[in-house]
C-alpha cells in the first residue's frame, strides 16, 4: 500500500514529474473514501408535488398505492452508512413521520409527513448524533 500524501504534495510531485506512470506511460489514480462520523445533508422540502414523489419512488414497494403529494419530504445522509438505521428509529419514535426510503448501504434517509413533524424529527436526529454520538452534523436547510 502506498504512502499517504496531501493534495498539495501530490500536485507538487505531479508538476515536477515525480509521479510514477504505468507501463503504458499513463497515470494511475486511486481514490479512497474513509467514512467519517457525520451527517452531511439534512434538508426539508416544504410541499412536494406529484412528479417529485413519483421520481423518488415514494409510491412503490411498501408504499404502493400511497399518495404523498402535498406532504413535506426530509432528506438526510449519513456516514458511516449504518447510522441511518438509528436515525430512522429516532425519526419514527419522535414524530409522526413515515420512512419513504432508507438505504443502509449508502446512508440515505427520506422522511415524509407534515412539515413540522419532519423538521422536528430531523432536529432530534441532528441533536442526538451531534451531542450523544459526537458526530459532525450539518445545519438543517429548508426550501
pTM of the predicted structure, to 2 decimals: 0.71
On the question of a cis peptide bond just before residue 26, with omega within 30 degrees of 0, the verdict is no
| Cell (9 digits) for 39 | 451527517
Between vectors from CA 105 to CA 104 and to CA 108, what angle results, nearest 5°?
Answer: 60
Q: Which fold has domain 38-142?
A: Alpha-Beta Plaits (3.30.70)
73-to-93, 112, 115 alpha-carbon distances in Å? 17, 5, 8
pLDDT in 10s for each residue of the chain, 143 residues: 456 677 788 777 776 777 777 788 777 766 655 668 999 999 999 877 776 766 777 766 656 667 767 789 999 999 998 999 999 999 999 989 999 889 988 899 999 999 999 999 999 999 999 999 999 999 999 98
Question: What's 63's DSSP letter?
Answer: G
Alpha helices in the chain (DSSP H): 7-15, 50-55, 83-94, 115-127
In the three-class reduction of DSSP (H, G, I as helix; E, B as strand; rest coil), residue 111 is classed as strand
In the three-class reduction of DSSP (H, G, I as helix; E, B as strand; rest coil), residue 113 is classed as strand
- What residue segments make up the domains of the chain, in order of their start? 38-142
Amino acid at each position: 500500500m502506498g504512502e499517504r500524501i496531501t493534495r498539495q504534495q501530490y500536485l507538487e510531485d505531479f508538476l515536477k514529474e515525480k509521479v510514477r506512470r504505468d507501463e503504458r506511460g499513463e497515470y494511475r489514480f486511486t481514490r479512497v473514501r474513509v467514512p467519517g462520523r457525520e451527517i452531511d445533508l439534512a434538508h426539508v422540502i416544504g410541499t412536494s408535488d406529484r412528479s417529485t414523489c413519483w421520481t423518488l419512488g415514494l409510491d412503490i414497494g411498501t408504499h404502493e398505492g400511497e399518495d404523498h403529494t402535498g406532504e413535506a419530504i426530509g432528506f438526510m445522509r449519513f456516514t458511516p452508512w449504518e447510522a441511518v438505521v438509528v436515525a430512522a428509529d429516532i425519526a419514527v419514535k419522535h414524530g409522526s413521520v413515515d420512512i419513504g426510503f432508507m438505504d443502509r448501504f449508502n446512508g440515505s434517509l427520506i422522511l415524509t409527513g407534515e412539515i413540522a413533524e419532519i423538521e422536528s424529527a430531523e432536529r432530534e436526529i441532528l441533536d442526538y448524533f451531534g451531542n450523544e454520538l459526537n458526530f459532525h452534523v450539518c445545519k438543517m436547510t429548508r426550501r
